[in-house]
């Protein structure tokens, strides 16, 4: 069979596609509604006894996207600090990592053995 004959056959089949019966659609929807979980019953509202400042803080955190969104802010602030701070301003950090200073800290001391030719 050539490709044109197959295309003609598929075109006829697409044009005469049978529609599902109303009874079939009703049964499918009934099965789908039966498979859906029921919503949990609403718990009675408990009286909140938190201090006012905690309620205000909770409202602010919720307004900013929740605790998960607010948790990334310290990392973002540190990234901005390290991105905009000049290298001279970060000497205190180099001293905390290596007491002898960052100039004498060698990460790959044995790399010379593998980089030489001969």
Q: Which pLDDT value is given to residue 34?
A: 92
Between 1 and 75, the higher pLDDT residue: 75
Q: Which pLDDT value is given to residue 97?
A: 59
Q: Which pLDDT value is given to residue 104?
A: 56
Please, are residues 101 and 95 in contact by the beta-carbon 8 Å criterion? yes
Mean pLDDT of 69-77: 87
- pLDDT tens profile 75-97: 888 888 877 776 666 666 666 65
Q: Which pLDDT value is given to residue 56?
A: 87
Contacts of 64 (CB under 8 A, 6+ apart): 70
For 12-27, give one letter per residue: b (16+ CB within 10 A) or e: eeeeeeeeeeeeeeee
Place of tokens 């001969």: 118
For 82-104, give one letter per residue: b (16+ CB within 10 A) or e: eeeeeeeeeeeeeeeeeeeeeee
- pLDDT tens profile 16-62: 878 889 999 999 999 999 999 888 888 777 765 767 888 888 888 88
- pLDDT tens profile 93-108: 666 655 555 555 556 5
Quote the pTM value.
0.31
Q: Which pLDDT value is given to residue 83?
A: 79
């Amino acid at each position: 069979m050539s490709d044109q004959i197959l295309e003609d056959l598929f075109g006829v089949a697409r044009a005469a596609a049978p529609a599902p019966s109303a009874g079939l659609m009703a049964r499918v929807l009934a099965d789908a509604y039966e498979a859906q979980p029921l919503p949990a019953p609403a718990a009675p509202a408990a009286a909140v006894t938190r201090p006012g400042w905690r309620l205000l803080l909770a409202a602010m955190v919720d307004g900013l996207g929740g605790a998960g969104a607010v948790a990334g802010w310290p990392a973002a602030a540190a990234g901005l600090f390290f991105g905009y701070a000049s290298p001279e301003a970060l000497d205190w950090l180099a001293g905390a990592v290596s007491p002898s200073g960052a100039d004498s800290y060698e990460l790959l001391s044995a790399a010379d053995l593998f980089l030489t030719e001969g």
